[in-house]
Structure 1
Amino acid sequence: MNSIHSKNLIDLGVFHRIDINLYPLFIAVYEQKSISKAAQILCITQSAASHALQRLRQHLQDDLFVRAGSKMLPTPFSEQIYPSIKDALYAIQNISMQNQSFDPSAVQSLKIALHDEIEPLIFPKLVAHFQQSQFNIQFSSIKLDRKNIAADLASQQIDFAIDLEQNFGDKIQFQTLQQDHFVVCSQQTEMNEQLYLASAHIGVSSRRTGVLVEDIFLNRKQLSRQITLRCQHYSTALQILAQQPKTVLTIPKNILAHLQIAENLNIFDVPVELPKINMGMYWHKDIQENARHKFLRSEIIKIFA
């Protein structure tokens, strides 16, 4: 008798007992680790989300999530079924949109995560491009959180992130939008490799600790420099630089072009060969065939082509 029921056959009779609307909630709670955040994404009340989750628990006969402090953590069963549910919902989404012609005017919002220093380079161009194309879009520039970038893209808290090129995992796609290179700023009137490496340097990073990008490149060449001061913003570093005659700042040229430079500062090429800096956009692989996402991606690429 069991041989009659192949695993490739679908038992259509069970579907009247399945509420497919419960499964997007499962994905949202799993990725956000929060019922309230999941409710916000799905545009429902927290109470409705809690009741729906309880129904799904009863249907699947598992707790699915357990509270640990402020987070809802998945049970082993949830860990097991998450990939299959996400793949199934993604397939249903693609099928439902397959024969629909995409209307760009239906795009109502664009949420991009940006670093503070990169925002002036990117965001004005984005807004100007879409407004000139007469798209009525609500723009949101969100502070970049590198630790959570993969989760934010997966849960569609953000549409894209724009940042320097780095590895955020197999599911996160990257495309270069702009190349940049480092230059040196200092009150000094000349610059060479020996002087550069011997000078006191200002380091700029929003992170509390960690090696700076420039130093990673220098270390590969078995070179090092002395950072005597570290701050969060290049604009702050330039103000300090104008007060300290012997200090040096290494800064991406495109960022420097958008900042105010004191008259007593000079700009030099970096006397040590450093790689080009690739800045581009990140998005989640699972959504790259979505019509809305493809449209936004192509428009952003146009801006920097």
Structure 2
Amino acid sequence: MDLSLIKVFIIIYQTKNISHAAERLNLSQPSVTYNLNRLRKTLNDPLFIRDKFGVKPTKLAENLYPTFYESIVKIDLAIDSAKNFDPFTSNKTFRLGVSDLGEICLLPSLMQYLVQHAPNIKLEIEEIHSDKVEEWLIEGFIDVAVFNSSYTIMPQIESRNLFEEHYVCIANKNHPRIQTALNLTQYLYERHISIKSSTGHIEIDQRIKELGYSRKIMLEVPHFSVLENIVKNSDLLVTLPSRAAAVYQSNTDVNIFQLPFEVRPFNVSVNWYNHRDDVEARKWFCSILKNIFSTL
């Protein structure tokens, strides 16, 4: 059987989407469909059936995936063992899952480093969904995840803490009511922008609820990186990690305030699954992430 067909099968299985598989494989969507149809004919099974989110595997596909994946891993491992990983010449693609904090704080420095030290490496970014990270890492949809994993139990995943982070509040520098300090009454009176809990940011509203209060949420967004113009042109408050707040303060006119109530700090960690392929490349990538975050 043609090895390229097996690789197409694996990527479709991991992404559950033909167009996403085409992007991962750097092929056109018709080429992926053509190769999939060849494999379907060989195995006399549809392998993947369309659903509203993309495609889902048939029973045969579910049975074949572990064997196909292990075979490809062994082949890739044999190839990798014959050559040392050199980031400067490697054209590997790393798939990185990051939280909004990572988008804002890590990506600019990471891209600057890669341009200088690993110019042929490609980076693909996926927005973190805390309830899917373990599955994504195990299935190879992403190689590494950087996020607040304090509330995510992932027994099969390797994890290393990068740094401790805490929340602060930012407001427009010309805010009509808040200028020099922020007390609890003001915090509860003002309207807020919140981040969806699926990204892992649940500490603030949990703590406010524990204190017997609630805050006025006017806008809920999937991540912090979309907020700059909104904060600059409104009186809405945003509670966010201190490193992200510092980035906003350097780019726009905002004030940073300590929260008027205690909230436990949290750890941002780098997480990966011990696939047997690309061990040296993954070690290198994780070390780069750790080194870059240590300077932020």
TM range (shorter): 0.7 to 0.9
Q: Tell me, yes or no, if structure 1 residue 199 matches structure 2 residue 183.
A: no
Change over 3 Å in CA distance of 1:32–1:250 after alignment to 2: closer
Higher relative contact order (CA 8 A, sep 6+): 2
- Cα deviation for residue 111 of structure 1 reads 5.0
Alignment of 1:1-305 (within 5 A): 18-68=1-51, 71-108=54-91, 110=94, 112-115=96-99, 118-132=102-116, 134-137=117-120, 140=123, 142=125, 144=127, 146=129, 159-165=143-149, 166-167=151-152, 169-170=154-155, 173-185=158-170, 187=178, 189-191=180-182, 195=185, 198-205=188-195, 212-219=202-209, 221-232=210-221, 233=224, 234-235=227-228, 236-237=230-231, 239-241=233-235, 249-260=238-249, 262=253, 265=255, 267-268=257-258, 270-286=259-275, 290-305=279-294
> What is the total number of aligned residue pairs between the two structures?
278
Using the size of structure 2 for normalisation, the TM-score is: 0.72
Change over 3 Å in CA distance of 1:127–1:40 after alignment to 2: closer
Deviation digits for residues 208-234 of structure 1 (CA, Å, limit 9, x no counterpart): 999843112343x35333224335455
8 Å CA contact 2:193–2:220 kept in 1: the answer is yes
The ranges of structure 1 where at least 4 consecutive aligned residues each deviate by more than 6 angstroms after the TM superposition are 207-211
Deviation digits for residues 259-299 of structure 1 (CA, Å, limit 9, x no counterpart): 23758x5623x343211132233444436753222221222
8 Å CA contact 1:203–1:212 kept in 2: the answer is no
Deviation digits for residues 45-99 of structure 1 (CA, Å, limit 9, x no counterpart): 5444344333433443333223346733211121222223222322332233224
Instruction: Name 1:7's counterpart in structure 2.
Output: none
- Cα deviation for residue 202 of structure 1 reads 1.3
Deviation digits for residues 143-196 of structure 1 (CA, Å, limit 9, x no counterpart): 625276567656766544433325285555543323211124561655555x36
The one-letter amino acid paired with 1:183 is V
The one-letter amino acid paired with 1:256 is A
Three-state SS of the structure 1 residue aligned to 2:275 is helix
- Structure 2's unaligned 5+ residue stretches are 172-177
Change over 3 Å in CA distance of 1:274–1:138 after alignment to 2: same
- Cα deviation for residue 198 of structure 1 reads 4.7
Give the RMSD, CA atoms, in angstroms: 3.8
Work out which of the two has the higher radius of gyration on C-alpha atoms and give 1 or 2. 1
Share of identical aligned residues, percent? Answer: 22
